Amino acid sequence: MRRLGYVLVCFSLVLAAHATQSAPAPQVTGIYSNLRLIPSEGDVVGTEVFILSSGTAYFVLVQCAEGVLGPPELLPATVEYPTVKFTVPEHTASMCLAGEFEGTLTSRGLNGAVRGSDWPGFLPRKKSFWQ
């Protein structure tokens, strides 16, 4: 009988420890894109944001297109889930709108804009345009 009590106490402790564990961290890194080809025009339009982690910091690789593709640009980012922030510098060759971007991550994608604009809007989480 004493052994059964010991087993029940141990089982209760395991259940209590499991119940107090926090939920797993949401997946932040990934590709958020509405970059697409318009076949009839031969143009590429849209925006692709790839959120990366170095383990100690976050970065975004952004690429924008308005008929032609701008070169991708790697920028430091601040991520405090669900908020993502980064700044596209003035005089960028990326063809992305310069300014401070702030967006919100969901399981479906990244929704946000550069301050004072509606660019880029909602970017669904999906494979890269290049895949």
pLDDT on residue 2? 57
Is residue 131 within 8 Å of 125, Cβ to Cβ? Answer: no
Q: What is the pLDDT of residue 24?
A: 63
Ordered mean pLDDT values, 10 residues apiece, the chain (131 residues)? 47 47 75 96 96 97 96 97 97 93 97 97 97 93
pTM of the shown model: 0.80
The per-residue pLDDT for 23 is: 58
Terminal alpha carbon distance of the chain: 62
Q: Give burial (CB, 10 Å; 0-12/13-18/19+) of 84.
A: buried
Query: What confidence score (pLDDT) does residue 3 get?
Result: 55
Predicted local distance difference test score (pLDDT) of residue 106: 95
Kindly state the tokens that stand for 8.
């029940």
pLDDT at 26: 76
